[in-house]
Structure 1
Amino acid sequence: MTSFRVRRTAERVAARQRGVAAIEFALVFSVLFLAVYGVITFGGVLYVQQVISRAAEDGARAAQLSQTNTAPEALKANVLSAIYRSISLSSITPAAAGTTASSKEVWIRSKMPPPDVVVTPGKVVIKVTYPYSANPLLPALPFTGSWMPTSLSGKATAATPS
């Protein structure tokens, strides 16, 4: 009879331990998931920031490669074209925007404000702003707060041929 009680007590302890292990797994998994998702989301924000900075630099490069006697309006159009092309070749557009660069460019033009391009004699200043909170790369988790930036911007300056 004693061995029966010992065995039964051991089974109860084992059953309790399995329940504790499940609770520990749930707690650890939740914390780990939040940490990994936070790192991935932060990486996504950094990627979009790099895309926007690169677009401003590509616009500055287009301004530098322009002809000496280019009219300011034509120079601004070339710069804007280079900026939108640079952004459309990145992976920040959703799948619904399409897969071609032209369909992605249409989506980008509709979702972000036009870049500021200031053309002065001998210099072009470009500022690109992307509304990240309206078009995040990854959605924020509920109840985690809103730590993501509202907008991301990149700025570049280029000397133009005089």
Structure 2
Amino acid sequence: MRTNRALPSPRCQRGVYAIEFAMVFLIFFTILYAVICYGMLFAFRLGLQNAAEDGARAALQYQSDLGARVARATTVATARSDWMPLVMPPVVSICHVEGAAGLDLCPAVNCGPSWSQRCQVHVVVQANNLGSLLPPLPGFAVPDQIAGKASMLLELR
């Protein structure tokens, strides 16, 4: 037996495309926003790392004393990180290899050519308050601080 049900008219389907577009747009916009934000973070992090490595390499160049090496490393690391906003001044320290190096400066050391007197230069370049650089959208984990760190073994003669 045949029923006389009427097929839905096109008039009943109005607005369905707009609803589908709204749902798909939100998903794609979220993905696009995440890619842009994390891409910017990775670019800043790479820039900080390059600045720290260049500063550490500059400390390897011949200087008359350790203070001059620290000054040269600081100057180079600052110059390499000028293009990035919110960058703190670089922290450069020279420590004995066995000594702990972090963000705080190492105590005064006597570096020399013997193996027991070997020293390292540590360069840390960091940027703070990164949430102010990216467009504000809740729900994304953006770190407050990123840093680039490098260390090299000094050779003194």
| TM-score, normalisation: structure 1 | 0.69
Q: Does 1:130 align with 2:127?
A: yes
Aligned match for 2:13, one of 11, 17, 26: 17
Instruction: Please give the secondary structure, in 1, of the residue aligned with 2:64.
Output: coil
1:33 Cα shift? 0.5
State whether residues 55 and 84 of structure 1, in contact with CA within 8 Å, keep that contact through their aligned partners in structure 2. Answer: yes
d(CA) in 1 for partners of 2:155, 2:15: 74
Q: Deviations over 1:8-54 (max 9, x none)?
A: x87x8323323011111011101110111111111111111111111
1:114 Cα shift? 2.1
d(CA) in 2 for partners of 1:16, 1:48: 52
- Determine which structure has the larger helix proportion and give its number: 1
In structure 1, the gaps of 5 or more residues are 1-8, 94-110
Specify the alignment match of 2:43 in structure 1.
47
Specify the alignment match of 1:113 in structure 2.
88
Instruction: Please give the secondary structure, in 2, of the residue aligned with 1:139.
Output: coil
Specify the alignment match of 1:35 in structure 2.
31
Instruction: Please give the secondary structure, in 1, of the residue aligned with 2:15.
Output: helix
In structure 2, the gaps of 5 or more residues are 1-5, 96-110, 112-118
CA RMSD of aligned residues (A): 2.2
User: Stretches of 4+ moved more than 6 A in 1?
Assistant: none
State whether residues 115 and 128 of structure 1, in contact with CA within 8 Å, keep that contact through their aligned partners in structure 2. Answer: yes
d(CA) in 1 for partners of 2:14, 2:76: 60
The structure, 1 or 2, with the larger RCO (C-alpha pairs under 8 Å, 6+ apart) is 1
State whether residues 81 and 87 of structure 2, in contact with CA within 8 Å, keep that contact through their aligned partners in structure 1. Answer: no
Count of residue correspondences: 129
Q: Percent identity?
A: 31
